[in-house]
Amino acid sequence: MNVKKGKQSIQFEKPPFIIGEASICGPKEAEGPLARYFDVLSEDPTFGKASWEEGESEMVRQAVSMAIKKAGKKKEDIRYIFAGDLLGQLIASTFGIKDMDIPTFGLYGACSTCGEGLSLAAMTVAAGYADYVVAEASSHYGSAEKQFRFPLEYGNQRPLSATWTVTGSGAFVVSNENEGRTEDICITGITTGKIVDYGVKDSFNMGACMAPAAADVIYQNLNDFGIKPTYYDRIITGDLGKVGKRILIELLSANGMDITKQHMDCGIEIFDNEEQDTHSGGSGCGCSAITLAGYIMRQLKDNVWKRVLFVPTGALLSTVSFNEGQNIPGIAHAVMIERR
Amino acid sequence: MNVKKGKQSIQFEKPPFIIGEASICGPKEAEGPLARYFDVLSEDPTFGKASWEEGESEMVRQAVSMAIKKAGKKKEDIRYIFAGDLLGQLIASTFGIKDMDIPTFGLYGACSTCGEGLSLAAMTVAAGYADYVVAEASSHYGSAEKQFRFPLEYGNQRPLSATWTVTGSGAFVVSNENEGRTEDICITGITTGKIVDYGVKDSFNMGACMAPAAADVIYQNLNDFGIKPTYYDRIITGDLGKVGKRILIELLSANGMDITKQHMDCGIEIFDNEEQDTHSGGSGCGCSAITLAGYIMRQLKDNVWKRVLFVPTGALLSTVSFNEGQNIPGIAHAVMIERR
């Protein structure tokens, strides 16, 4: 029996395993400090396709196929796929997975989508609805800038609080059995985020929009499970960047929780933000997805870390809501990933 | 123990109940043949707000609040909400539910979203992860036209195969117990759809894009459960319209299944398509959502029907994918709703 913990969390009695994962990235990520952890580093930002959007779909296709292959499975073994991206109407996901013939749940949680997908995949597997489920998330610098900001050709200046959308897709096969694999990497629990609106309106400061949601879900996770930050080797947010990180630490500190020793942010790690001119850090669904699939899973497999709280963070806006003067609320989903 | 049926279906051993539902609609729907079944009929298409998008969010807020109230619950009782709409980055859902303080899973399945949300809500409740879960979906004629087609002021001509986006939001409270209610309306099983691409490119003929996906999931449902179309009083698609309906019947007939007697399409029923100039029929996430919350639930409660297969249908495109010459794949999710 799986256990409901507090208001927002679930503890899995028989935790599902991550048995295969893949990370595909673009040329800028290939020059960053985590490059050696990624499976495929493309020199071509369109991945051989005619547009950024088609290139993003190609990344999705490669990530899902490779994760299934690395799990030693075939696509026929996969009962469901949970997938999402940043583009309107999820076109990157749709055209990436449309020919795979796998029942599909489309998700949108902005840059928190990897956490949303892993949560639902783990719930689905732990309930016995499926033996194998794929969770996947992607983003692409070119397609995201085109949609959310300015034409790249315009060359607008970016403030230091701005982040840089990661070109990447991360995919994971979640399974009810580990089938004799050497490393037991499990999803032991989840804490599902609420939408949190602190009234921030600056779309060039996403970190500030998302930090309150991250603080909320981390606080809730620790409370629901009755644990302290030291339970985890790392508490890893998705793409708060340097500005958002500071706010997160302050918000939790004001609630008596000190996560300075455990906290890491994928957006800060994925680029050398001074050298690579990415300012506050990397962002996008792909940022946390490939950092988990590449770097974090490696640390768990190598026994460097035993327990991490993975907390992808999303800023909920569109150009329409922004232009109509709406705030930018945030959301974050926490996934407990542990080596057994 | 819940039972996996075939490749794509789940049968719930202890089927979750729909214990509260609400339907909010706009002025055109209020003049249609199903008007008397809806809870709130607004004369104001912006629902007292400054824009179509904010109006859609207001519908979402009203539908979710009313469904919870009709279930005799408070928002604190709701453990999760599954919600989605047609707008880029789900802004209608986000701003509709952001102040409700409920853990949120954002979904995108185009106009199939109501089926996707009910499926995940039923899975979540049947697995014991939650006692009460809300599923909600919305669309709005003004916000959808602005996003997908032409400015309304342009007054472009619409071909007869085109559909009319329904202004409406439908919400449902799914529960593990019926708590002594008179009518037992259950979700007994689900069949999750795959993305189906028949190579159609005409965005003014969504019915043709979606009919193959509907045929696929209906065929799979009947096969997985080993039942015939006569098992159901109605097999109800979301928004195929007249053109899509013809294709659906033909595709299933070619596979030896005759659903002519059982088939109904929410898009055909919701408007008087000749009188109201809505051409092929109504469409949008709201079309199937309010038809289920209003009309279909009434027929089940009044014992007119005992078993329906509810099959919302979605066309997977954006203006970007369309302009880049991509096909318009379809997806459909089947939900078995039965009176016990």
Which chain B residue's Cα is nearest to A334? B103
Residue B129 with chain A: CB contacts under 8 Å: 2, 4, 10, 123, 127
Percent of chain B with pLDDT over 90: 87
For chain A, say whether B329 makes contact (Cβ under 8 Å): yes
Mean pLDDT of chain A: 95
Which of these, B178, B174, B191, B150, lies nearest to B68 by C-alpha position?
B174
Q: What is the pLDDT of residues B185-241, one digit of tens each?
A: 999 999 999 999 999 998 888 899 999 999 999 999 999 999 999 999 999 999 999
For chain B, say whether A78 makes contact (Cβ under 8 Å): no
Measured CA to CA, the distance from residue A240 to residue B280 in angstroms comes to 47
Residue A130 with chain B: CB contacts under 8 Å: 4
Please state the rounded mean pLDDT for residues B106-118.
98
The whole-angstrom distance between B197's CA and the closest CA on chain A is: 7
For chain A, say whether B80 makes contact (Cβ under 8 Å): yes
Please, is B140 exposed, middle or buried when counting C-beta atoms within 10 Å of its C-beta (0-12, 13-18, 19+)? buried
In chain A, ranges of CATH 3.40.47.40 domains:
3-175, 187-339
Contact B186, B17 (CB under 8 A): yes
SS3 at position B119: helix
Output the pLDDT for position A288. Answer: 98
* Band of pLDDT at residue B1, cut at 50, 70 and 90: low
Q: Which of B52, B95, B105 would best serve as a mutation to test chain A binding (most A beta carbons within 10 A)?
A: B105
Q: Count CB-CB contacts under 10 A for residue A165.
A: 26
pTM higher than the cut 0.90: yes
For chain B, say whether A120 makes contact (Cβ under 8 Å): yes
CATH level 3 topology of A187-339? Peroxisomal Thiolase; Chain A, domain 1 (3.40.47)
**Residue B154 pLDDT more than 80?**
no
For chain A, say whether B129 makes contact (Cβ under 8 Å): yes
DSSP states along A97-112: HTTS---EEEB-BTBT
The whole-angstrom distance between A28's CA and the closest CA on chain B is: 24
Output DSSP code: residue A206: H
Measured CA to CA, the distance from residue B187 to residue B175 in angstroms comes to 10
Please state the rounded mean pLDDT for residues B23-49.
97
For chain B, say whether A203 makes contact (Cβ under 8 Å): no
Output the pLDDT for position B314. Answer: 96
Q: Which of B64, B80, B89 would best serve as a mutation to test chain A binding (most A beta carbons within 10 A)?
A: B89
The whole-angstrom distance between A192's CA and the closest CA on chain B is: 6
Q: Count CB-CB contacts under 10 A for residue B28.
A: 21
Percent of chain B with pLDDT over 70: 99
Q: Count CB-CB contacts under 10 A for residue A96.
A: 28
* Band of pLDDT at residue A211, cut at 50, 70 and 90: very high
Please state the rounded mean pLDDT for residues B301-315.
97
> Which H or E run contains A117?
helix A113-126
Q: What is the pLDDT of residues A243-281, one digit of tens each?
A: 999 999 999 999 999 999 999 999 999 999 889 988 889
Which chain A residue's Cα is nearest to B50? A324
Q: How many Cβ pairs within 8 Å bridge chains A and B? A: 176
Please state the rounded mean pLDDT for residues B102-129.
98
The winner for highest mean pLDDT among A153-157, A213-217, B157-161, B320-324 is A213-217
ipTM summary value: 0.97
Domain B185-339 in this protein, CATH class:
alpha beta
Q: What is the pLDDT of residues A270-323, one digit of tens each?
A: 999 889 988 889 999 999 999 999 999 999 999 999 999 999 999 999 999 989
**Residue B152 pLDDT more than 80?**
no
Residue B7 with chain A: CB contacts under 8 Å: 79, 103
In chain B, ranges of CATH 3.40.47.40 domains:
3-175, 185-339
**Sign of the four-CA dihedral B91, B92, B96, B102:** negative
CB contact under 8 A, B105 and A116: yes
Interface of B with A in 265-294 (CB under 8 A): none
Output the pLDDT for position A1. Answer: 62
Output the pLDDT for position A117. Answer: 98
**Residue B156 pLDDT more than 90?**
no
The token duo for A186 is 């499990």
Structural domain B3-175, CATH architecture: 3-Layer(aba) Sandwich (3.40)
* Band of pLDDT at residue A149, cut at 50, 70 and 90: confident
CB contact under 8 A, B318 and A101: no
Q: Which of B8, B101, B107 sits opposite A103 (nearest CB)?
A: B8
Q: How many CA atoms lie within 13 A of B242 on its CB side?
A: 13
Q: Which of A53, A109, A123 sits opposite B127 (nearest CB)?
A: A123
For chain A, say whether B127 makes contact (Cβ under 8 Å): yes
Q: Which of A53, A126, A317 sits opposite B321 (nearest CB)?
A: A53
Interface of B with A in 24-63 (CB under 8 A): 50-51, 53-54
Output the pLDDT for position A7. Answer: 83
Residue A102 with chain B: CB contacts under 8 Å: 194
Which chain B residue's Cα is nearest to A315? B89
For chain B, say whether A85 makes contact (Cβ under 8 Å): no
CB contact under 8 A, B123 and A124: yes
**Residue A324 pLDDT more than 80?**
yes
Q: What is the pLDDT of residues A67-119, one digit of tens each?
A: 999 999 999 999 999 999 999 999 999 999 999 999 999 999 999 999 999 99
Q: Which of B104, B123, B197 sits opposite A127 (nearest CB)?
A: B123
Residue A79 with chain B: CB contacts under 8 Å: 4, 7
